[in-house]
Amino acid sequence: MNALAIYFGLVHTGGPWDFKNSSGPGTHDQRVAAGNVNYGATCFIGDEACQYAAGLYGKLSGNPGTAATHFDIPSDNQQIQQGQAIKKRKAAEQSNAMTATRQAKRLLSFVLLLIAIPLSTIAVGGCDSADYTVVREVKSPDSAISALLVQRRGHDSLSSDVFYVVLVDHHHDPTDLPKAIHDKPILVATHGHDVELQWISTGRINVVCANCGIQKIDVIEKRDKWDSIDVHLSDSRKELRRRPRSSAPSNFQRMPLP
């Protein structure tokens, strides 16, 4: 149990292994990846339990996530699995047979970790202490609706920044971004800082990822309709302008939800 407490002290927010919130080296995204890979390579309570623990930690902090990725942000979960693969390659082959004592110890460790995570989340600021920033805002031609690209940066040690594209009307409270991103976002993805927004008409908006860096695994949620407004996603602004409405969608449009 002492080992679990020591480990949790290393990886939790503000701990020595919290690479994300350190001053360097590398970019913010690189430090997030390093923290996730390190966590995957060092967590010792079992692969599934470690992934669920990380997902729960992020979920309690307000991150999006699905059961398919252990309730974690998909790209974060992938990085954790990369760390686990590194650990497996380096570790000696172990017998599949585990004694009842070892199984009981792992189960107890997992339960204690699940208890510790929500307590630490509350201690560092409640359910959602993230910082929200409007990266860009584009008004519709009649100025009735604004399209916002919102960046959410959580303070927990293992979570990537998440970007939301949301449509809001003039009743929207600009100080309440957390509410806006949970009210039918038309795109939720990691690595979306360079996403562009283009109103074609009052009833149609294009969300453009022209070399913006979003990969299939980064897309957490997307919609093709918001009330009466059609939403079109594209990976090329030039292609989008010249393509007829009936043409086949781009690769970005074909991205399935996780």
Confidence of residue 180 (pLDDT cuts 50, 70, 90): confident
When pLDDT is averaged across residues 206-222 and rounded to a whole number, the result is: 89
Confidence of residue 32 (pLDDT cuts 50, 70, 90): very high
3-state helix/strand/coil string of the chain: CHHHHHHHHHHCCCCCCCCCCCCCCCCHHHHHHHHHHHHHHHCCCCHHHHHHHHHHHHHHCCCCCCHHHCCCCHHHHHHHHHHHHHHHHHCCCCCCCCCHHHHHHHHHHHHHHHHHHHHHHHHCCCCCCCEEEEEEEEECCCCCEEEEEEEEECCCCCCCCEEEEEEEECCCCCCCHHHHHCCCCCEEEECCCCCEEEEEECCEEEEECCCCCCCHHHEEEECCEECCEEEEEECCHHHHHHCCCCCCCCCCCCCCCC
C-beta separation of 83 from 39 below 8 A: yes
In this predicted structure, what is the pLDDT of residue 190?
94
Other beta carbons within 10 Å of 104: 11
The mean pLDDT value of the chain amounts to 80
Structural tokens at position 98: 């585990």
Nearest in space to 28 (alpha carbons), one of 128, 117, 151, 118? 151
CA dihedral of residues 233, 237, 239, 241 (deg, nearest 10): 90
Structural tokens at position 73: 């942000």
Q: Rounded distance, CA 23 to CA 191, Å? A: 20
In this predicted structure, what is the pLDDT of residue 114?
57
Confidence of residue 69 (pLDDT cuts 50, 70, 90): very high
Percent of the chain with pLDDT over 70: 76
C-beta separation of 174 from 132 below 8 A: no
In this predicted structure, what is the pLDDT of residue 223?
92
Which of 8-12, 59-63, 194-198 has the highest mean predicted lDDT (pLDDT)? 194-198
CA dihedral of residues 257, 18, 43, 156 (deg, nearest 10): -40
Token pair 């009307």: residue: 169
pTM reported for the whole predicted model: 0.72
Confidence of residue 58 (pLDDT cuts 50, 70, 90): confident
In this predicted structure, what is the pLDDT of residue 123?
44
Segment 100-117, tens digit of pLDDT: 556 666 666 666 555 555
Other beta carbons within 10 Å of 175: 8
When pLDDT is averaged across residues 122-144 and rounded to a whole number, the result is: 78
CA 28 to chain centre: 14
Considering only 53-62, 107-116, 143-152, 163-172, which range has the smallest mean pLDDT? 107-116
In this predicted structure, what is the pLDDT of residue 5?
82
Residue 6 has pLDDT above 70, yes or no: yes
When pLDDT is averaged across residues 224-239 and rounded to a whole number, the result is: 81
